[in-house]
Structure formats: C-alpha cells, structure tokens
Chains A and B, each alone.
Chain A
Amino acid sequence: MRHFISIADLRREEALEVLATAEHMAQTQSRAIRKLPTLVGTTVVNLFFEDSTRTRISFEAAAKRLSADVINFSAKGSSISKGESLKDTALTLQAMGADAVVVRSGSAGAAHLLAHAGWIDQPIVNAGDGAHEHPTQAMLDAFTMRRHLRPGDPHADLDGLHVVIVGDVLHSRVARSNVLLLTLLGARVTLVAPPALVPVGATGWPCEISYDLDEALAAGPDAVMMLRVQHERMIGGGFFPTAGEYSRRYGLSAARAASLPAHTIVMHPGPMNRGFEIAGSVADSPRSVIVEQVASGVFVRMAVLYHLLATDAREAPREN
C-alpha cells in the first residue's frame, strides 16, 4: 500500500492485514506504557480543509502513540482558509518534509488528487473527501463489528453478517466506504433511506436498497449503523418535509431497537443528532458500540499509518 485513499482500491487481503495490525495495536494499548517507538523521527501532517475535531484528534492520537511528530494544518486561521490552493499547500508540505499527509476535504477526490497529481511524493491518507469515501471510518466500523460479532478471531472476515445502514446515503462518504468494505469482507449490506437520499446510480452498488426501516430491521440484522443526517441541508434541500417525519420513518427509536435480536449491535459514526436519527436511550444502551468505535478508530489509524510509513520498498529485505 502506497496510499490509503479509497476502499475501492483495496484488496481483501490488504483489508484483513490492516485489521490484524489494528488488533495488534489494540493489544499494545492496554499496556502500562502505550507509546510505541515505531515511527519515531517521522512527521505526520493532518491537513484538514474541513472542520472535524474527532477525526483529527483520532489521527493525532494514532500518530503520537506511534511516536510520530504531528503537525496540524487546519482550515481555520491558516493559509488554506485564505484561498491557498491544494496544490500550493501540497508544495509547502513537501518542502517542510512531511513524511505522510492525512487529508480531509469537502471535495470528492481531494486525497486522490494529492496522491497522484505529482505535487507531493509522500503517502496520503484519506480522512474523508466530500461524499466520496472515508476509508478509515469503514475500517474502524469493520474492526468494531468483528470484535463483537466474530469475537476472539483476529483473522476473521465478516462472511455471513448482515449490516443495515440507515440515513442520508446520498451525501455519505461513510456509507460508500462501508458498502465497499463490508461486502469485500463478505457481509451483506442493506441501505435504508428515503428515496431522495439514495443516489440515482446506487443501483450499481453491491448491496440491497430499502425504503422501509421496519422491514429491514425485521430481517434481524447483526449490526445497524445509523448515519448522521444534517438537518440544515436536508430540510433546506427539500429531501424530506420535516424532521419529525424523517425521525418517525427512519429514526432508530427505543421501540425499534427493542425489536432487534439480542446480539445486534448499534453503531453511529458520530457526531450524533440524539433524538433525531437515533434515540438517546438507544445510543446509551448496552447494544450501542458507539463509544467503542472511537477507540477502534485510533487502533485502525495506527495500523494504517504503520503500513504506510514503516516501510520503504526501495531498500532490500533484511537478513536475520
């Protein structure tokens, strides 16, 4: 792996290898001293054109636990909020000597462009690009599912699991990356959304599409993933008439959660709109793994940084 841009680029074995490494990282994080010297002397730049405190902190924690130096380059108050182009920013980072760049952008394809435009040589990690992909989020979701639904097997895939993903699929990079990764690992995925929030071309995706949450939940899925719904965009954009109508049809209420099999886990990439797409009591219930997803995020991102940075293919293999 040279970059970590999209799940679409990933082979099944690569995905499983990253997950196995993430398990290893998780193990090290229960030790007395959690900091590993692995990436000492390297510099990871967090280039965030879009505000996202939780993703940035997660990458920052991951890099620091591996002893990398971290430079945060965020939109607010920096040159990138003053209209500096991605290209100029990339050239700056190249000149500064970054060893890897973690990029978050509202523009689909930004990470791909950074990796392939020839402006910068370093490995690029996509921390979310527009509505395209958010591959580390999908990895952490798969990691969390595996721990709960395939416990004790750090090499398991997700074969035979059924995952229901609910909400604003149209604008969701989380949904796109998850559909690709979960199916790559053998799971069956059902997307549930109001028709206007399903992309017109989603018929080509390797998943089922439903407009009826109750019907999807009645199938007894192993995991239910609620997507964040952005009020402003949704109601202003006319995607559904009112928040109430959305919540009644597509919100994960306590009653709906109670209808699920005992083993079913509930997930949410955060930040949540409590009481809108998910009831507060469901988010706080024992079947909710939402807080654990955050911890998984650090392990998975450590694994990704490790695979991208702890290697230099130009050198010959070591002898014993």
Chain B
Amino acid sequence: MRTEPVTSDARTEPPAPLLIRGGRPYGEGVQDVLVRDGRIAAIGADLEAPADAEVIDAEGCIVLPGLVDLHTHLREPGGEEAETVETGTRAAARGGFTAVHAMANTTPVADTAGVVEQVALRGDSAGWCAVRPVGAVTVGLAGERLAELDAMANSRARVRVFSDDGKCVHDPVLMRRALEYVKSFDGVIAQHAQDPRLTDGAQMHEGLVSAELGLAGWPAVAEESIIARDVLLAQHVGSRLHVCHLSTAGSVDIVRWAKQRGIAVTAEVTPHHLLLTDENVRQFDAVFKVNPPLRTAADVEAVREGLADGTIDIVATDHAPHPADAKDREWDQAAMGMTGLETALSLVQSTMVDPGRISWRDVARVLSEAPARIGRDEDQGRPLAVGEPAHLLVWDPRPVRVSDPSEHASQGRNSPFAGLELPGANRLTLLAGRATVRDGAVVER
C-alpha cells in the first residue's frame, strides 16, 4: 500500500481532507469515503469526519473511480479553433473523467517523442485530468511507414497506445509489423477499422436510408473485414489489438469469436453508437455526421448486447469537437465527429444502466478500469480502496435535464444530444483528492 501524497499539480498545496458521506461505491452498499492527501484514507459506514474535513453529502449518489477515456480528440496542437488541451480537459472533468488519451491526429501529427511529450506537458499544466498521448502508428498518419514507436514509448509521455485514428492502418504488412513492434514495450495498436477503398467518398451507413437520401454508403463490411483481418493478425503474431469505435453487429460477432479463440483483442463502443441510428441523418443535419457512421437500430442493439456481455470491453467517447463552420454546411462537405466527454456517462446510464443491462459496478469497469488497463495507465482506474489514489467521481443518477451544448466546457458545440433529456449529474470529480468539478461546474483555481 502506497502512502505518499499524490498530487498532479505541484503548484497547489494538498487540499483539506474530504469526507464523502452517504454515497454508494460502485452503486452498491452505502459507505462513507474519506479522502486525505490525494488518497483514499478510509472507507466504511458512518466514518467520523476529521475536524478539518469538508463533508460532501452524497446521499443517493454513486461513487465511482474517475472515468478514463481511451479515445479523445483534444485537437491541440494545430486545431485550437476546435479545442485545446485546456478546454478539452475541462470538458473531460465535467464528464467525470480523470484521464483522457489524446488522439494523434493533430497538426503536427503526434508521431514523434517531441509532440507526445508536449501534449503530456500541456495536460499536466492544465491540471483538469491526466492526459495520456496516443502515438501515431505511421509517420504523418500516411499509412506508409512506421513512426518511431519505441521513442514515444520511452519518452516522458510513456506512450502505450498507438493509433492512426481517423485513418485505418490498411496495409496488412504494415499492420502486422506494428502489432509485432509494440510487443517489446507492452503497447497496443488501436485500429480505426475502415477499408479505405470500400469507403471512398462514403457519407453515411450504407443501407435503406442511404439509398433513399442518395448519400454514398459506408458499408458495414468495410469495418468488419478489417477487424476480421486484424484479429487474425493479432493471433498470428501474438500481439494486443484494440478495436476503436466498433459500430456494427457483424463487428461484435467477430470480436466475440476472436475472444473465444483467446485472441488478445479489446474493443470499444462510443456513447453515440449506443443510441443514435442512420435515421437521424434524414434531416441532413451534419451534427449527426460521424465516422464510423451511425448504423441501424439492429446494430445499436448488437453493440448494447456486446457491451453487456463483455465482448465490448469499454465505452470511449471519440470526443471530436469541430468549429461551427465545419458543421454548418452541406452534409457531404461537413466534418465528421461529435463531442462526447460531457454526455458520455449520461448516455451509458440511459442506454445501459437504467434499462438494467449493466450495473454501476460494470460502469466502473467499462469507463474506468478496463480503459486504464488497455492504456497501461497504472495510476488510473484503480479500485475504491484505502491507499488508492483519490481519482473519484460522485454521480447523482436522479436528475434529468435537457442537454444544452452551450453549457459545455468543450469549445465544440457539435453534440448530437442537444435537446435530449439526459439523466444524471456530476456532483464531484476528484483528481488526486482535489475537486476539479463541483455540482457540474469546473472548480477554478
């Protein structure tokens, strides 16, 4: 058991002790949680508050380990008109996250030790949550030759997740080499599964709706064929594979099959693929344009089932902020992507927890423990236990509010959930014992 104080920010003094009173860790029995010096100091019924402690009334709330997002686009460097590390991590904190993995498709691309260290440093100085950079698999995301994966892994950013997300590592030889290469430092390739030839010019899921709307189709097979190939490659070379934003029923089947064969594959689903379908495209509102595209109701049901039965390991947001101009356009000219950090847990609650398909204990697994484990993030996704770092979320599942993107801390206003009634509210996010969010509002320093 570690006992030294944990702080993510050397500039501030360790905050006063904090007693979270009456909450339910993992949504199970009521237990008080005492936080001191950045760690969980005690857990138990009716704990006595130390004299200098602040007491938080968490009656009716769920206490979870801080959420970990394996798939966030912070846009910095290069895309600061869409998001910055500062605004993106504030959004993460509001969503209950204490760590995000920042995708590599920035400008310049995060394909060198210099860029990933810079992103990690920005995250540390912002101080709203831990920022773990994802390294590019190939130089410039061009899919032609491997980036210096080892240099990124051994940099101060300690990169373990590599992804060309936004683009698929479609060359099978290159994919094989990448899978092999990251074995030496226990890395993982997070694949954006999209056959580029089958999706040339693709605008939406290929099916009944695309046929009616005359938009070029993005067939499910373009995702499934890459996943099938990659799980076989992972098996062949004995490497870890992570499947980003899996979106189709067929993909769930393939991953389920691969896991049965003992292949080291993990998979993620986004909150939006748990709810929205291609029917949402009918109004040509580009806020619903995303990659992979919104699929059918049958696919939504399949990914929910896959998440419930453990085939899908984690929920990751694919938070992809865009400036308004990139979305206020004709569908085929608009940017792909949706924001998601600040609505993720509400979506998981409404689509999975409230209907009884997973428990809050499972939420801790799919939104904190498993993503931290896949990302080899030793300090995050820890158990709620004495001595563990106090990265915590106190979530009140009872309030229902109409989602309003103008209230978001993200610079992006491209939330497809605007106007929907969403359940749950963030009462408190603790990063190493320090409150980053109280009652939904970012705690300014």
Binding site for B on A (CB under 8 A): 8, 85-87, 105-110, 112-113, 116-117, 129-133, 171, 173, 176, 199-205
Contact = CB atoms under 8 A, between A and B. Distances in A.
Contacts of B331: 107-109, 113
B183 interface: no
B355 interface: no
Contacts of A133: 214
B213 A109 contact: yes
Given A86-B330, A87-B329, A201 B211 contact: yes
B284 A112 contact: yes
Interface of B: 203, 206-215, 217, 219, 283-284, 325, 328-333
B211 A112 contact: no
A108 B329 contact: no
A171 B216 CA distance: 9
Nearest to B206: A200
A202 B206 CA distance: 11
Contact of A116 (B203, B210, B214, B283): B283
Closest 7 CB pairs of A and B: A109-B284, A201-B211, A131-B214, A107-B330, A199-B211, A132-B214, A201-B208
Contacts of A108: 203, 213-215, 284, 331-332
Nearest to A202: B211
Given A113-B330, A117-B328, 9 more contacts: A87-B329, A113-B284, A129-B214, A132-B213, A133-B214, A200-B206, A201-B207, A201-B209, A201-B210
Given A109-B284, A113-B284, A200 B328 contact: no
Given A85-B325, A87-B328, A200-B217, A107 B211 contact: no
A82 B213 CA distance: 27
Contacts, number: 72
B208 A203 contact: yes
21 contacts: A87-B328, A106-B332, A108-B215, A108-B332, A109-B213, A109-B331, A116-B283, A129-B214, A130-B332, A131-B214, A132-B215, A199-B211, A200-B210, A200-B211, A200-B217, A201-B206, A201-B217, A202-B211, A203-B208, A204-B208, A204-B211
B214 A176 contact: yes
Q: Which of A109, A112, A117, A132 counts the most B-chain CB atoms under 10 A from its CB?
A: A109
Contacts of A204: 208, 211-212
B330 A109 contact: yes
Given A112-B283, A113-B284, A176-B212, A200 B207 contact: yes
A176 to B, nearest CB: 6
Nearest to B284: A109
A110 to B, nearest CB: 5
Contacts of B203: 108
A314 B264 CA distance: 66
B279 to A, nearest CB: 12
A87 B327 CA distance: 11
Nearest to A130: B214
Contact of A200 (B213, B219, B283, B325): B219
Contacts of A86: 329-330
A107 B332 contact: yes
Nearest to B330: A107
Nearest to A49: B330
Nearest to A199: B211
A214 to B, nearest CB: 25
A183 to B, nearest CB: 13
A112 B217 CA distance: 20
B328 A205 contact: no
Nearest to A131: B214
Nearest to B204: A108
